Amino acid sequence: MIVDADVALPSWAEDYLVWLATHRRAAALTLENYRRDLVRLAGLAGEREPQALAPADIRRFVARLHGQGLSGRSIARILSAWRGLYRWLIRNRGAHVNPVEGIRPPRSPAMLPKALSQDQTKALLDTESTAESALEYRDRAMFELFYSSGLRLAELAWLDLDSGSRNGWVDFAEGMVTVHGKRDRVRTVPVGEPALVALTAWMEARSQLSVAEGERALFITRNGRRMSAGAIRGRLRRWTQASGLGVHVHPHMFRHSFASHLLQASGDLRAVQELLGHASIRSTQVYTHLDFQHLAEVYDLAHPRARK
């Protein structure tokens, strides 16, 4: 099922998105994902209003999505969005039941997050620029900051120039970046020296660009507007190709690499949890498996009795 997030939605769905934006202050990327999930629900429901759907309908929708190739994890996210919609309908539109409650997604095999090795990360970040243009300075600063501080894509895209901005900002004097993460949780993370150097070079280049009136974004396009998530992905794809690394790299891979490399060096799971902004230690524990995987590879390569 190919979903066009730009299709017109029923009024109940648009009203819910407005509520998420104004009352929950959901990030732009979150709203984009919710819109896509509501498009799915509206398409599956057809002419029926959401209040007319029963748990059996939701189970049938889940089975259809799974049959179309969506993973259990993707369906779990979709169900979460639908569950939130129905809670809102009960509070605000007189709905009586939440048919999504108790519906579980299909089980998927556990997948470890993909992280770059330290050598791969160094090779990627040390890639020589094809031209010392303002955009090259910007890209290097973005990717250094991703890896230096373990930021999410939306967190980096929404950074502002202004200290104290609700979107987040970089404190150059203290070498720290403050971001507003998921569920509006605020955290402050150190910024490494290479990232600070790259950011300083970008700030000088940015001052020479024609910036759109009132635009306070830290990272902007050649047209002087805030970089979108899609634009950042595209620039990383271009940068990776120039590096000759031969590996598909997406922005979140920097975050995984940041966490796994930090854990390998320190062994401090709680510190990594705080730096990533995870509410639960269980979300961070996946990186202990990555660390064990690294140790197992070292054993297999180095131990005389390891299986070859």
Question: Annotated catalytic, 287?
Answer: yes
- The pLDDT value recorded for residue 64 is 93
Tell me the pLDDT tens digit for each residue of 233-263.
999 999 999 899 889 999 999 999 998 888 8
Provide the phi-psi class of 25: left if phi over 0, else alpha when psi is between -120 and 50, else beta.
left
Question: Annotated catalytic, 255?
Answer: yes
Question: Annotated catalytic, 152?
Answer: yes
Q: To the nearest whole number, what is the mean pLDDT of the chain? A: 87
Question: Annotated catalytic, 299?
Answer: no
Active-site residue identified among 36, 77, 93, 252:
252
Under DSSP, is residue 231 helix (H, G, I), strand (E, B) or coil?
Answer: helix
Question: Annotated catalytic, 252?
Answer: yes
DSSP 83-151: HHHHHHHHHHS-----TTTT--PPP----PPP---HHHHHHHHTPPPSS--HHHHHHHHHHHHHHHHT-
Q: Which domains does the chain have, with CATH numbers?
A: 11-92 (1.10.150), 118-296 (1.10.443.10)
**From CA 284, how far away is CA 92, in angstroms rounded?**
36
Tell me the pLDDT tens digit for each residue of 271-285.
888 888 887 877 777
Report the DSSP pairing between strands 176-180 and 168-171: antiparallel
Single pTM value for the model: 0.65
Tell me the pLDDT tens digit for each residue of 134-189.
999 999 999 999 999 999 999 999 999 999 888 899 999 999 999 987 777 889 99
Q: Per-residue pLDDT for 2 more than 50?
A: no
Q: Per-residue pLDDT for 194 more than 80?
A: yes
Active-site residue identified among 152, 187, 206, 235:
152
In this predicted model, which residue has the larger pLDDT, 208 or 283?
A: 208
Tell me the pLDDT tens digit for each residue of 17-65.
999 999 988 888 889 999 999 999 999 999 899 999 999 999 999 999 9
